[in-house]
């Protein structure tokens, strides 16, 4: 098979060398975008009088045919033709003859590949934004069912203060909202057309870059042809936004894994998102949560990989840049899959309210209530803290909790303690009273949920 750039060559590479240099094994994912870009380019070439209308029509008809064949998986791709761009051009020429060779007038694979990836990420990021919204909806739905479900809130993974389970779930809603804003903002930079930058320097042909940009639905064009073909910031940004999103998902995975353990038993995942063990019949493993936690590592890997690929590259295009694709495709697949799994997992999980609430009643996470109690009666908070610390110690020695101590024991420590300390110690009250803005108090959680719903 003759190389499309074969003119100045007399020798040829061995097959395994071609294989090593080829990207067709993975960039065939860009067939649709490559054709879309070519259709816009051919249309513009004709409008600007660079090729005839008849030639453009012939090219566009041919491209449409190839699009159908690509969709049906009927196109043969060859590593000899390196990448999706040369493979499609080859098929076009086979199909319509020498006119196919006119398509590449005033274009280079350098602006072509950049255009393809802009088109690809634009579509994928928009879909990822929708998937985030769906996952957020699942979180809000679960939160609404659990406003008055009490659970221990933790710091250092030690019981800290009782909270509403809805409050805990909503914390993830807001993380995801920031993730979504980051993806939305990135669209500004993805939504630019590099097409018409040529190999690096622009072209002598009277092209119209704004026309192709408009035909492809881009909001504008790169102002500098060198930058247009060298820029991979938009992919780095995607990988970076994805890394932060995956880090959030991974933290929730970790919690889900803890909550489903025998030690916690706060939730039960649906059978659809768990697996059994081939040897231990009792097992129900949170595989999906573990996998998403694990896959976070490969997304970070793709980000570090591309940052490293780019750091020493002189302008403009270098073949190193072909390494930008596999990590991007893999990340798209990972992020989409993880978000879909998560939405399902959260929607179908069973919250074991009694166990959660039971656990928070049998601990010292209401100790702050007592310290606040004294502080609100004028005792300096530090002193109140010390007194309650001693009371906790007394309980530990006696093997009981704060609510089990008789009023005498409290009065012995400070005469300001009255019968109403038992109300203050009640876990439900402890949560209910945290009405400061953004706090876990039920009324505040309700406010938060209403606000969240306006963002869906």
User: Which parts of this chain interact with ligand ARG (CB under 6 A)?
Assistant: 23, 27, 83, 109-110, 113, 317, 319, 321-322
Burial of 288 (0-12, 13-18, 19+ CB in 10 A): buried
Closest to ligand ARG by CB, 273 vs 317, is 317
Cβ atoms within 10 Å, residue 420: 9
Whose tokens are 């004294």? That residue is: 374
Q: Find all residues with CB under 8 Å of 417, minimum gap 6, and list them.
A: 373, 374, 407, 410, 411
Closest to ligand ARG by CB, 5 vs 381, is 5
126, 277, 376, 443: which one is catalytic? Answer: 277
Catalytic-residue membership of 277 = yes
- Output the smallest distance, CB 87 to ligand ARG, in A: 10
User: How far, in Å, CA of 27 to CA of 199, rounded?
Assistant: 19
User: How far, in Å, CA of 93 to CA of 96, rounded?
Assistant: 5
Closest to ligand ARG by CB, 75 vs 355, is 75
Cβ atoms within 10 Å, residue 320: 12
Closest to ligand ARG by CB, 101 vs 337, is 101
- Output the smallest distance, CB 328 to ligand ARG, in A: 11
Closest to ligand ARG by CB, 109 vs 209, is 109
> Contact at 8 Å (CB) between 103 and 57?
no
Look up residue 340 and give its two tokens. Answer: 């879909």
Q: Which long-range contacts (CB under 8 A, 24 or more apart) does 85-88 make?
A: 85/34, 85/109, 85/112, 85/113, 85/116, 86/4, 87/24, 87/28, 88/31, 88/34, 88/35, 88/38, 88/63
Catalytic-residue membership of 225 = no
Closest to ligand ARG by CB, 246 vs 328, is 328
Phi and psi, residue 294, nearest 5°: -70, -40
Helix/strand number for the chain, H first, E second: 19, 6
Closest to ligand ARG by CB, 34 vs 55, is 34
- Output the smallest distance, CB 74 to ligand ARG, in A: 22
- Output the smallest distance, CB 236 to ligand ARG, in A: 15
User: How far, in Å, CA of 74 to CA of 93, rounded?
Assistant: 17
Query: Cis before residue 405, ω within 30 degrees of 0?
Result: no
User: How far, in Å, CA of 296 to CA of 25, rounded?
Assistant: 24
Cβ atoms within 10 Å, residue 153: 18
The catalytic residues are 156, 277
């Amino acid at each position: 098979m003759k190389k499309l750039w074969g003119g100045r060559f007399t020798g040829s590479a061995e097959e395994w060398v071609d294989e090593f240099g080829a990207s067709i094994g993975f960039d065939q994912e860009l067939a649709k975008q490559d054709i879309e870009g070519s259709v816009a380019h051919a249309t513009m070439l004709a409008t600007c009088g660079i090729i005839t209308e008849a030639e453009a029509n012939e090219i566009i008809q041919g491209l449409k045919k190839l699009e159908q064949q690509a969709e049906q998986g009927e196109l043969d791709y060859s590593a000899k033709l390196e990448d999706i761009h040369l493979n499609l051009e080859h098929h076009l020429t086979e199909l319509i003859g020498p006119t196919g060779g006119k398509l590449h007038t005033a274009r280079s694979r350098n602006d072509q590949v950049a255009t393809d990836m802009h088109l690809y990420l634009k579509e994928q990021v928009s879909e990822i934004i929708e998937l985030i919204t769906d996952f957020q909806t699942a979180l809000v739905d679960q939160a609404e069912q659990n406003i008055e479900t009490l659970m221990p809130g933790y710091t250092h993974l030690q019981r800290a203060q009782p909270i509403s389970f809805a409050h805990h779930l909503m914390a993830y809603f807001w993380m995801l909202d920031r993730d979504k804003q980051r993806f939305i903002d990135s669209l500004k930079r993805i939504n630019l057309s590099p097409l018409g930058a040529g190999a690096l320097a622009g072209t002598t042909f009277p092209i119209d870059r704004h026309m192709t940009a408009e035909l492809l639905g881009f909001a504008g064009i790169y102002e500098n042809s060198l930058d247009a073909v060298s820029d991979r910031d938009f992919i780095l940004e995607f990988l970076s936004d994805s890394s932060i999103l995956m880090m959030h998902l991974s933290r929730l995975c970790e919690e889900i894994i803890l909550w489903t353990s025998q030690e916690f038993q706060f939730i039960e995942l649906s059978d659809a998102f768990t697996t059994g063990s081939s040897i231990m019949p009792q097992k129900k493993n949170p595989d999906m949560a573990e996998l998403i936690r694990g896959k976070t590592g490969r997304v970070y890997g793709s980000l570090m990989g591309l940052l490293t690929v780019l750091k020493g590259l002189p302008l403009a295009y270098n073949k190193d840049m072909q390494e930008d694709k596999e990590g991007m495709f893999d990340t798209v697949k990972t992020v989409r899959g993880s978000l879909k799994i998560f939405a399902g997992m959260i929607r179908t999980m069973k919250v074991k309210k009694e166990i959660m609430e039971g656990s928070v009643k049998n601990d010292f996470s209401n100790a702050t209530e007592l310290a606040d109690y004294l502080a609100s009666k004028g005792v300096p908070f530090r002193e109140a803290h010390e007194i309650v610390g001693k009371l906790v110690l007394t309980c530990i020695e006696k093997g009981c909790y704060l609510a089990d101590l008789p009023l005498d024991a409290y009065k012995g420590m400070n005469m300001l303690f009255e019968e109403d300390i038992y109300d203050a110690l009640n876990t439900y009250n402890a949560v209910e009273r945290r009405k400061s803005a953004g706090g876990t108090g039920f009324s505040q959680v309700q406010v938060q949920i209403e606000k969240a719903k306006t963002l869906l």
